[in-house]
Structure 1
Amino acid sequence: MATVILNAKIYLERGRFARALLVEDGIVRAVGTNEEVLAQAPAEYETFDACGRTIVPGFNDSHQHLLNTGIALSDIRLHTAKSIAEVKEIARRYIAERKPAPGTVLHGMGWNQDYFEDESRLLTAADLDDISTDYPIIFERACGHLLTANTAAVRLAGITAETPDPEGGSIGRDAEGNPNGIFAENARKPIRALMAERSVDELVELIRIGMAHAAETGVTSVQTCDLRPGSWERTLEAYERVAAEGASTRVYHQSHFHNPDDYRAFLAAGHVTGTGTPMHRFGPLKLFIDGSLGARTALMRHPYNDDPTTSGIATLTPEQIDELVGIAVENKCSVAVHAIGDLAVERMLDAYDKVTNGSNPLRLGIVHVQITDRPLVERFTKNDILALVQPIFLHYDTRIVEDRVGKDLASTSYAFGTMQKLGIHMSFGTDSPIEDMNPIDNLYCAVTRRTLDGTPEGGWHPEECLTVEEAVDAYTLEGAYASFEENVKGRLLPGYYADLVVLSEDIFTMPVEELRRTKVDATMTAGRFVYQREGA
């Protein structure tokens, strides 16, 4: 059945809008005035009266973790905790309500010590022991690059005072050298291995939970990092089942492999960039080469301003990076690499210099690109390297970045306006569940350079603000470019996918400071409404 959308303000491209739109077979067939579109409609169609509301292309989150979003919405949620005491209260309430079976490994996500009002410090095993000594407990920090485990979990993992720090990771220790429950980067692996493998049925349910959240926030496409060594076959089976049964979200996999043999086996199974269906496709190799700013594991050229004992953690050596990138390029696959610190970004640009020559047909990219000076940003233009960024990170990072890296380097970081002016292919994501998937908050941070509570007035380095049109394009058309779909996705023009979002407000004319009052009233994916807000 065709659908005609009438009486709307439909964003087509900068400075150009339409009143109506015709959808057939999941594709936009016509745009124009109400009369023009109705004249092209088939004999039978359904009508959606937008009542003057603004419609934009479906948001394309260019980097996140959809499966982990489902997990975060299902396990112990610590994102709102404002104190260590509240972390304990949330966990105790979860145990009391859920009554997990004895020996169950409890998992939580989202705590951030910089939000704690009682003690601004990392959680330790002692804190989690105060919740329970019977259950092994693993709580992952908001960044996902550091976790804390209680004593029961540390013992179960076999970690002792004699256990050495692994390459690319660190084990926190007390004054006597005993593990204190804090594990960063590659040291997390034996702790995370304690969590029971989830069945395919469980994974299907978690993916659907993540997709439902995507639909209610207006996200119609996700570029998601969920396929990993040791579990990718089972996770892929779950995604294929969801796609076959009717998915509400388009999926483009950023597949994480750090061992060359594992990656070659994945490629040998036929999972190269571009294969798949319009609803479920394979994308780039995803690498992690450093950590996070909040955990001081982002790899910096110089020691941290507020902790000169460390410059962060390199989770892969330059030689390992070169080998993995080389395998991808040899197989005509794209690459997307987590790099936050300036040295991490520099190393990735160095690696890409070796496999490009003024152009970037494989659309090699760097995810996050947070800490930069101007010459580092300009280097992206040399080989047309993509930047997959998260403006929502400004909400938290502006509170800590000057302490971490100093005022001068902070002033040239999160350089979204500079990237736009230089013509860099810059797309938006949220890294969900690191931050919520909500595109409206992401847009707000991009165009105001403020935290979600509105500070600082005038914005943090407002010279880097984007216009609403620039931000929407980064979230739609540029996201499509990152997945080689800019000719079918990211615009509402004839021949493009009918992926769209009906908004409660006109984001193009309202004061940008008020953007956050915008609601998603309806979401359409592939010509089908997958979400409609109650009462809208």
Structure 2
Amino acid sequence: MRKLVLRNGKIYVERGRFAQALYAEDGVIQAVGTEEEVLTAAGKRDGSGNGLDGAEIIDLEGRTVIPGINDSHMHLLNVGMDFATAPITGVSSVDEMVERVKEFVRQNPETAKQGIAGKGWNQDLFIGEKRMPGRYDLDRISTEVPVVLQRICGHVAAANSKAIELLGLDQKMRHVDGGTIETDENGMPTGIFTENAMELVNGLIPKYTLEDDKRMFLNAAEYAVAHGITSVQSNDVGNAFISRDDTFRMLHEIYDEGLCPLRYRHQACIQSLEEFRECVGNGEFKHGVYKDPKRLALGPLKLFKDGSLGGRTAAMRKEYQDDPGNRGVECITKEEMDEFCRLADAAGIQVVTHVIGDRAIEDVIESYEKVLHDGKNPLRHALIHCQITDREMMERIAGDDILICYQPIFLDYDMHVVTDRCGEELSSTSYAFGTAKKLGIHVSYGTDSPVEDCNPFPNLYSAVTRRDQKGWPEGGFFPEERVDIEDAVDAYTIGSAYNEFAEDFKGRLKPGYLADMAVLDTDIFTCRPEEIRTILPVMTIVDGQIVYRKTEE
């Protein structure tokens, strides 16, 4: 029997309630309260009065403990892959990006000899000329192998001339449903690919071996627990670099061997109706065996309805104010969305959908409404991102009891462009964290990592302050949509647990709940708001076992 005692701490139980100590057996919390109450309860459990024999007792030295962070939408395998690709996040110009990739190639010649990949550029953050990189920029890196560099949002990619040549696009253009291949005034590809068209260039980059994928996945998991994350709801199935079946098989192997410290729930991306029918009728949704679903679980169908605000591919009701005539990209039609929802409903499968623009959100709400049961949402269909909204739309979401998976950290960049793209009025009702809380919408938090770092504390800071990481604007971006720190922590813990039907045993530090928690280096409930973004855990516990402990520097 594994026993764990935390004492002399500030343990967050729920709003307005903290405890001094906690006792867990075999990964489940048995008692929470004062030290005397907890030690007495522990002793009574085996009738000996000495229930702490063999227990690991940790003196928290007054530190604050919160439930383990549960990222409600991310891409864990891609986090690991990003660690192994050209580091271009945060570049301030096209030239800097080119030089960084050239240096990566010099240091990793074997990795780069058949193709070069990277992700992280953002033209809106460039100093000087704010343009997307094109084929001839990337030709400065290589003209011998394909070079594919994705924008930070993952919805736009730049490719070099070699990639375009290998695809035969200089000779014959291709139409891609739900995506675009951008061309110049002469009809030649510029090297910019959006949405579904990205699959063409992504397919040119050599695939990793299964062992490579496992190593990268586990590296990402270690990074996550080092930042207080104990559970992820991750969209790795549907990754362009590894097949759906290989991803399912890899995760089964990792968890059967007990290699991963995180709890994991699949968000399986299947964009083809034919593939979804096959997966439901004779695939993973039919035959998948999950021995310990509290460790590894098969979750919802994940769909993409539109693109990104930064790439101007989010589907909007009105044209972009800074790009007249453009209303974004629709990745799947209304008819396809309706059919996905009908099939999922018949099979009892939750649906979660990437929606950023107001047109995309409205269309998906309509599709969800067609499969509600007596006005209820028992499968807990959810909207991922749900960024550009008005009050009427938020009230409709609340009335339908549709869930929202927010990424507050997106505001760090988006607050600098959303008004130009969407106008002042619509921006004031978007990223509506406060309104969602007031309307009683079930909200969870995540990072969409590696679009953003999966570190949860800058994310919490964004929700509480609505300021960027440099502290702008001083009063917050439309500050009426701020939430307090208790609401933000709850969204990241019990809120995320609700998203995966686990709220009865996960996301709180109470008896009967899983012993998943993070011990913090700063009291997140009393520190200045600007300090939240720099908080880190000194210890992360999953299933009552320490999976990360900060080493002394």
Q: Which range, TM-score by smaller chain? A: over 0.9
Match of 2:46 in 1: none
Match of 1:433 in 2: 450
Structure 2 counterpart of 1:271, from 269, 276, 285: 285
**Structure 2 CA distance, aligned partners of 1:240 and 1:186?**
28
- Provide, for residues 16-75 of structure 1, a one-character-per-residue CA deviation record: whole Å limited to 9, x for no partner: 111111121111111111122122332221111111000000001000101111111111
Match of 1:456 in 2: 473
Match of 1:193 in 2: 203
Structure 1 residue 164: Cα displacement? 3.0
Work out whether residues 75 and 450 of structure 2, in 8 Å CA contact, stay in contact via their aligned partners in 1.
yes
1:322 aligns with 2:338: yes
Structure 2 counterpart of 1:289, from 302, 305, 309: 305
**Structure 2 CA distance, aligned partners of 1:388 and 1:161?**
43
Work out whether residues 62 and 222 of structure 1, in 8 Å CA contact, stay in contact via their aligned partners in 2.
yes
1:364 aligns with 2:364: no
Structure 2 counterpart of 1:393, from 402, 406, 410: 410
Structure 1 residue 273: Cα displacement? 12
Letter in 2 for 1:386: L
Deviates further, 152-161 or 288-297: 152-161
**Structure 2 CA distance, aligned partners of 1:184 and 1:228?**
17
- Provide, for residues 373-407 of structure 1, a one-character-per-residue CA deviation record: whole Å limited to 9, x for no partner: 11011111122000011000000000000011111
1:241 aligns with 2:253: yes
Match of 1:52 in 2: 62
Work out whether residues 124 and 181 of structure 1, in 8 Å CA contact, stay in contact via their aligned partners in 2.
yes
Matches within 5 A, 1:329-408: 329-356=345-372, 357-408=374-425
Work out whether residues 449 and 460 of structure 1, in 8 Å CA contact, stay in contact via their aligned partners in 2.
yes
Match of 1:171 in 2: 181
**Structure 2 CA distance, aligned partners of 1:158 and 1:60?**
44
Matches within 5 A, 1:61-80: 61-80=71-90
Matches within 5 A, 1:218-233: 218-228=228-238, 231-233=243-245
Match of 1:260 in 2: 273
Quickly say closer, same or farther: Cα 1:190–1:235, change in 2 above 3 A.
same
Structure 1 unaligned segments of length 5 or more: list them: none
SS of 1:135 mapped into structure 2:
coil
Structure 1 residue 270: Cα displacement? 4.4
Letter in 1 for 2:148: I
Structure 1 counterpart of 2:436, from 411, 419, 433: 419
Structure 1 residue 263: Cα displacement? 1.1
Deviates further, 169-178 or 270-279: 270-279
Structure 2 unaligned segments of length 5 or more: list them: 43-50
**Structure 2 CA distance, aligned partners of 1:493 and 1:372?**
35
**Structure 1 CA distance, aligned partners of 2:284 and 2:182?**
41
Match of 1:515 in 2: 532
Superposition misfits of 4+ residues, deviation over 3 angstroms: 272-275
Structure 1 residue 275: Cα displacement? 6.9
Letter in 1 for 2:500: S
Structure 1 residue 274: Cα displacement? 11
Structure 1 residue 101: Cα displacement? 6.2
Work out whether residues 321 and 423 of structure 2, in 8 Å CA contact, stay in contact via their aligned partners in 1.
yes
Structure 1 residue 239: Cα displacement? 1.1
SS of 1:456 mapped into structure 2:
coil
**Structure 1 CA distance, aligned partners of 2:20 and 2:167?**
60
Letter in 2 for 1:306: D
Quickly say closer, same or farther: Cα 1:112–1:417, change in 2 above 3 A.
same
**Structure 1 CA distance, aligned partners of 2:285 and 2:117?**
31
Deviates further, 506-515 or 46-55: 506-515
Instruction: Give the share of equivalent positions with the same residue, in percent.
Output: 44
Tell me the TM-score normalised to structure 1 length: 0.98
**Structure 1 CA distance, aligned partners of 2:433 and 2:476?**
13
Match of 2:29 in 1: 28
Work out whether residues 248 and 530 of structure 1, in 8 Å CA contact, stay in contact via their aligned partners in 2.
yes
Deviates further, 125-134 or 365-374: 125-134
- Provide, for residues 181-222 of structure 1, a one-character-per-residue CA deviation record: whole Å limited to 9, x for no partner: 100011111111112222221111111011011111111111
**Structure 1 CA distance, aligned partners of 2:448 and 2:417?**
19
Quickly say closer, same or farther: Cα 1:332–1:316, change in 2 above 3 A.
same
